[in-house]
Structure 1
Amino acid sequence: MANNIFQNELIRPELRAGIKQLGFSEPTRVQTGVIPKLLDGNNLVVQAATGSGKTHAFMIPVFNTIDTAQKTTQAIITAPSRELAQQLFDNARDLRERSGLAVSIMHLAGGIDRERQMAKVEHQRPQIVIGTPGRIKDFIEKKLIKAEDVQTMIIDEADMTLDLGFLNDIDEIASRLNQDVNISVFSATIPARLKPFLNKYLQKPEYIVIDNPTVISPTVHNYLIDIGGRSRNGVIYDLLNIGQPYMVLIFANTKSDVDEIHHYLSKKGLVVAKIHGDISVRERKRVMRDVQDLKYQYIVATDLAARGIDIEGISLVINAALPKDLEFFIHRVGRTGRNNMEGTAISLVTADEMEPVHQLEHLGIKFEIKAIKNGELVDRADFGRRKKREATNEKLDPKLVGLVKKSKIKRKPGYKKRIKTAIARDQQQKRKISQRQAARDARRARKGRED
């Protein structure tokens, strides 16, 4: 066996040649850990970050197991969205062309003419099926794909499959396969809710966790900006004018937020694309073609829409707000800093939104605190100092808070001293009132005991 896993003697010579043509020389950590295990026929649960090279970690062994003489469906690969399925299908076709292997592959997903797909499958059984859970389940139920012939099943992006509610479809598919089928699961995270499925269908799986000590890629500069009372859209626009980013992906939590940011930036004269669930498949494909053709420099998207697309050259990711589900933070930031290229991720928060930041820091994610000053990003003091000041002000009456703010304005000599005196007098008066009240309470208590 060669030291480089791509030259493993268990891999077909045609595949090895194809891998070389793809320009793969040094395998990634996930490829080094996964490929030998899958070649040996093990069931795996693989946790690896977005952009780690996991697609080819399972695609190469899948191709290696296909018996080209058998015109049956031997492998199923599922993805939770049409775009992800298309991406996997494109990778598979590319690997096939580079290798020159006579392997039939079919893409089964929503948004593609179902009747035409059915006719195509009846004419020629695909040896590898790549698609979304619902469409694959439909074809298995109609006996267009014979589940008993399947030897390998790969579930990609399992956490997203769970989030989108497709795990029941996966369950239906897996329940129809032979007991000796090899099933492997790939995911950026392994939620606890996924464990029942893993225990049900994976026979003694081996867990492979590719840890990144910093959770996100070390090539990513991860910044945090306190927007204070400023408009988020205004801050986003300012960021787009700093440092001339090559391509920017802006994340928003809701479709309406995406529409609002898109409208604001468009009014500012920027050519901006938007991607969310309410946009038709045809329109989304058109937008993606235009993005690949560099007709757009800025893209605004929701999490689930963006998880299904692969855009090369993202130099800046902006989180208009932190995601409700913090696992998406890793997916968002993973869109930049790929292939050892440097990238920047900037998250916009207010002082009241620091709890999610603390949770992310607990996961090992480190932030650099930044501010925008004179059209540049500069270092700033930690949020903690500001919160301490706010905590001090909360102890004062509202009218005295106003006095504190006024004290910062340049005034005539003695003005600040008078404010300090007023504050001290107010606090002294409160102490006297408190002491008197305590004395009255003590007298009432004594009188009650005497009665």
Structure 2
Amino acid sequence: MKSENFKRFELKPFLIEALSNQGFVLPTEIQERLIPAIKNGRDVIGQSQTGTGKTLSFLLPILDKINPTVNEVQAVITAPTRELASQLFDELKKLLEFCPENEQIHAKLLVGGTDRSRAIESLKVQPHVVVGTAGRIGDLMDDQALQVYTAAMLVVDEADQMLDMGFIADVDKVASRMAESLQMMIFSATIPEKLQPFLKKYMTDPRHVQVEPKHIAASKIEHRIVPLRHREKIPFVVDIAKSINPYLAIVFTNTKEQADEVADAMLAAGLNVERLHGGLQPRQRKQVMKQVKEVKVQYLVATDLAARGIDVKGVTHIINFNIPKDLDFYIHRVGRTARAGLDGIAFTIYEDHDQQAIEKLLKRGITFTYYDFKQGSWTQLERAPLGVPGKKKTTKSSETTKTETKPKEQKRTGGKAVARPKNVKPGYKKKARFKQAKEEQRQRRIKKKK
């Protein structure tokens, strides 16, 4: 029905044709709620996770509003990383493919790590739309090569990451030189309190739309938590990586130093692996992403900030070397797999100090299965820590052979796991019994209160 598809937004015909070519028929919730507001010139805040369709919610109305007969910058779209800016630019190009020759809209990608003098040369004719990182856009403004004072539309994508990475000052610099009647569009997974002064400075009565995905994580993801126990972490991750034989697996670490250590160990084990983190040169990062997209890599070791917003097809497995400090990143990590109706498995290695984080993820609706991996075999235990239900099965790395098994190295008390210490010392059993007794006493007190 006409009222249910994109035609009801009265977008330019070439945009409808581009959407049809990509197989888009019905708008998502965020598109439904924000496209009319942006078309009407309103400031907007789109708060949503990855996978809700937010990119089209601002690209479509912006391109609809561009006047191709006026050769000046009319819209600026900023992103926190070069990779994310490049991804936005790719989506923009898909829409512009169907633009009529006599109404051509010109767009330019401006990011760091590219030849600055060449960028200056290319701006002798000002583009209609600029996509890039705020730092490079600001540099080209200082060079008087880019004239943004004519632009009345500004998008700040992944604003919370802009804030975390210290780029809001660069965005402020760009915004302050744009048209007085500036329409600002903020898109972010979260809206931190520290972002409020910036929003109040530029936005007037913004339309704030918060969209939660139907499932906090894709329903076809299996979330497996695997105890580290007494094992060395990096060799253990390498063993897990070897056992899964993925189409493409992403191993997430919390720091770039960890990413290098894990990637080096995987290389030494003969695995086809690349790394992606902020310590790489722009050219290296670009080459890595090219190899990943061309399916020349089987394993990618990455940090959260480097991988944020990157949409790579064919990710079958995620391995969390550690649980991220910001639990929102867990959702972003596992969201790289189980796309387009496919299945995916996310492994998370946990230690004793991770128990609170796991409890918080359980409260957010993540359902974990509890596994162990020993001597090339995966063992699903009867019951996970924290009371997560499961079934007992043992499978070889191919996951075809099944036998009953019981966990040997952990005692359970009231749904909690009391783990065997990593370094076994004299008297550890006595200490473990004492710890267990204390936990039982605590559980009885809780029951009594209830």
The code of the aligned residue for 2:335 comes to G
Determine if contact 2:71/2:127 at 8 Å carries over to the other structure.
yes
What's the offset of the Cα at 1:153? 0.8
**What is the identity, as a one-letter code, of the residue corresponding to 1:79?**
A
The one-character-per-residue Cα deviations of 1:297-345 (angstroms, maximum 9, x if unpaired) are 1110111111263321111111100112333222212211222322222
1:208 corresponding residue in structure 2? 209
User: Quick check: 1:351 aligned with 2:347?
Assistant: no
Q: By how many angstroms is 1:266 displaced? A: 1.6
Residue matched to 1:437 = none
2:145 corresponds to 1:144: yes
Output one character per residue of 1:386-412: Cα deviation in whole Å (capped at 9) or x when no partner: 464887999xxx865446999xxxxxx
What is the aligned partner in structure 2 of residue 117 from structure 1?
119
- Equivalent residue for 2:23? 23
- What CA distance in whole angstroms lies between the structure 1 residues aligned with 2:431 and 2:166? 53
Aligned residues of 1:5 and 1:35 also touching (Cα < 8 A): no
Q: For 1:350 and 1:57, how far apart are their aligned partners in 2?
A: 41
Q: Does the 8 Å CA contact 2:9/2:36 hold for their aligned counterparts?
A: no
Q: Who is 1:107 aligned against?
A: 109
Q: Structure 1: any 5+ residue segments left out of the alignment?
A: 407-451
CA contact (8 A) 1:238 1:375 kept: no
State the secondary structure of the residue aligned to 2:3: coil
Amino acid at match of 2:114: I
Equivalent position SS for 1:31: helix
Question: What's the counterpart of residue 179 of structure 2?
Answer: 178
State the shift of 1:213 in Å: 5.2
Residues 352-403 of structure 1, C-alpha deviation per residue, up to 9 Å, x if partnerless? 2212222333444343323236623514423248464887999xxx865446
Distance 1:392 1:107 in 2: 52
Shift of 1:126: 0.6
8 Å CA contact 1:224, 1:346 repeated in 2: yes
Q: Structure 1 CA distance, aligned partners of 2:61 and 2:270?
A: 48
Task: Mark the CA change 1:390 to 1:326 in structure 2 (over 3 Å): closer, same or farther.
Answer: closer
Q: Deviations over 1:190-227 (max 9, x none)?
A: 22222221222111111111113542222322222222
Higher relative helix content: 1
Is 1:312 matched with 2:288? no
Taking the aligned partners of 1:105 and 1:243, their CA distance within structure 2 comes to 42
Matched residue SS, 1:341: coil
Contact 1:351 1:383 in 2 (8 A): no
Query: Which secondary structure does the structure 2 equivalent of 1:149 belong to?
Result: coil
Matching residue's letter, 1:89: F
1:261 Cα shift? 1.1
Query: What CA deviation, in whole Å up to 9, does each residue of 1:275-314 have, x standing for no partner?
Result: 1222222122222222222111111011111126332111
Q: In structure 2, what is the equivalent of residue 12 of structure 1?
A: 12
Task: Tell me the CA shift for residue 268 of structure 1.
Answer: 1.7
Q: 1:82 corresponds to which residue?
A: 82
Task: Name the amino acid aligned to 2:278.
Answer: G
User: Displacement of 1:257 after TM fit?
Assistant: 1.1
CA distance in 2, matches of 1:205, 1:149: 22
Query: CA 1:300/1:392 → structure 2, altered by over 3 Å: closer, same or farther?
Result: closer
Matched-pair contact (CA < 8 Å) for 2:352–2:419? no
Amino acid at match of 1:133: A
Counting aligned pairs with the same residue, the percent is 34
Q: Any residues of structure 2 matched to 1:398-417 within 5 Å, and which?
A: 401-402=428-429
- Secondary structure of 1:331's match? helix
Residues 372 and 393 of structure 1: is their aligned pair in 2 closer, same or farther, counting only changes over 3 Å?
A: closer
Q: In the superposition, relative to structure 1, how do residues 240 and 193 fare at CA in structure 2: closer, same or farther (>3 Å)?
A: same
CA distance in 1, matches of 2:193, 2:19: 35
1:380–1:189 distance in 2 versus 1, CA, 3 Å: farther
Aligned-pair distance for 1:134? 0.9
Match of 1:330 in 2: 331
Q: Which residue of structure 1 lines up, in the alignment, with residue 389 of structure 2?
A: none
**Shift of residue 252, structure 1, vs aligned partner:** 0.9
Q: Is the 8 A contact 1:118 1:144 kept in 2?
A: yes
- The aligned counterpart of 2:130 is 129
Matching of residues 258-269 of structure 1 within 5 Å: 258-269=259-270
Counterparts in 2 of 1:359 and 1:212: CA distance versus 1, 3 Å: same
Q: Distance in 2 between matches of 1:202 and 1:83?
A: 27
Aligned pair in 2 of structure 1 residues 222, 195: CA closer, same or farther (>3 Å)? farther
Inter-partner Cα distance in structure 2 for 1:11 and 1:349: 49
Q: Which entry has the higher C-alpha Rg, 1 or 2?
A: 1
Q: Is the 8 A contact 2:229 2:419 kept in 1?
A: no
**Using the alignment, how far apart are the partners of 2:221 and 2:417 within structure 1?**
32
Match of 2:46, SS state, is strand
Q: Is the 8 A contact 2:224 2:371 kept in 1?
A: yes
Paired letter, 2:241:
L
Distance of aligned partners of 1:280 and 1:342 in 2 relative to their CA distance in 1, 3 Å threshold: same
Aligned residues: 403
Per the alignment, residue 425 of structure 1 pairs with none
Partners of 1:326 and 1:243 in 2: CA distance: 25
Question: What is the CA deviation profile of residues 107-162 of structure 1, one whole-angstrom value per residue up to 9, with x for unaligned ones?
Answer: 111111111111221x2111000000111122334443333311211111111111
Matches of 2:382 and 2:336, distance apart in 1: 26
CA RMSD of aligned residues (A): 2.7
The 1-side partners of 2:158 and 2:119 are apart by 24
**2:443: which partner in 1?**
none
Determine the C-alpha separation between the residues in 1 that align with 2:214 and 2:272: 37
1:44 lines up with 2:44 in the alignment: yes
TM-score (norm 2): 0.82
Q: Quick one: distance in 2 between partners of 1:217 and 1:349?
A: 21
| Alignment-mate amino acid for residue 58 of structure 1 | F
Report if the CA contact (8 A) 2:216-2:366 is conserved: yes
Distance verdict in 2 for CA 1:219–1:379, change over 3 Å: same
